[in-house]
A and B are shown apart, each in its own frame.
Chain A
Amino acid sequence: GEDVEQSLFLSVREGDSSVINCTYTDSSSTYLYWYKQEPGAGLQLLTYIFSNMDMKQDQRLTVLLNKKDKHLSLRIADTQTGDSAIYFCAERGGSASKIIFGSGTRLSIRP
């Protein structure tokens, strides 16, 4: 079956790097995604990675994929107060239309 797991909370100091981790179970996943949800809002796609890639960088965001261990991480460099949000890892499941979300990691920023 398909399952995506994340730790629930992460607290970092402003200016430090944040690393949010995710594990998934569906080895047939071709794409993995990171979404951000700010309070009272819908989800916003931050970035995605194709399963034949190990790493993808986009400005302050770096995604690392370890397909052998089914482990995905999102690193946010120079974390700012505006990065406070819930971050969801997601995989595209067996059906191309079905996106499975992890439990979400709430990122809080300390001054």
Chain B
Amino acid sequence: DTEVTQTPKHLVMGMTNKKSLKCEQHMGHRAMYWYKQKAKKPPELMFVYSYEKLSINESVPSRFSPECPNSSLLNLHLHALQPEDSALYLCASSPYSGPNTGELFFGEGSRLTVL
């Protein structure tokens, strides 16, 4: 299984809602990532988990709360978002060490619209 699966594919939420994005991989990768991608822009790193511990937080607002319950799952909890948070949220995984550390396996993304 060489896939990263993200759910839901599309999400529409109001500014007072609480929702979660989910990501799953079964490749035994020990690093997992959340990226945010606005239209016509490159992905921007939000969070990195290594061995289920948060290793990088790119100064992301606290209305985004990541969680890594186990080595296969990564969640992104959303609360009190703003319309400017509307974007494609991409999950990725990679082997933690070795020459292929930069080989990221991406999911298809969750397209979020905040009304």
Contact = CB atoms under 8 A, between A and B. Distances in A.
B113 interface: no
Interface of A: 31, 33, 35, 40-45, 48, 50, 88, 90, 92, 95-104
A77 B4 CA distance: 29
Interface of B: 4, 31, 33, 40-43, 45, 48, 50, 55-56, 90, 92, 96-97, 99, 101-109
Contacts of A33: 102-103
B108 A31 contact: no
11 contacts: A35-B104, A42-B106, A42-B107, A43-B43, A50-B99, A88-B43, A92-B101, A97-B33, A97-B48, A97-B96, A101-B42
Nearest to A8: B40
A99 B106 CA distance: 13
B101 A45 contact: no
A32 B109 CA distance: 23
Contact of A97 (B4, B50, B99): B50
A43 B104 contact: yes
B55 A97 contact: yes
A34 B82 CA distance: 32
A82 B99 CA distance: 29
A88 B43 CA distance: 9
Contacts of B4: 42
A45 B100 CA distance: 11
Contacts of B48: 97-98
B33 to A, nearest CB: 8
Residue of B103, B107, B108 with most partner-chain A CB within 10 A: B103
B56 A103 contact: no
A55 B104 CA distance: 21
A95 B102 CA distance: 11
A103 B101 contact: no
A43 B106 contact: yes
B104 A96 contact: no
Contacts of A41: 108-109
A95 B106 CA distance: 19
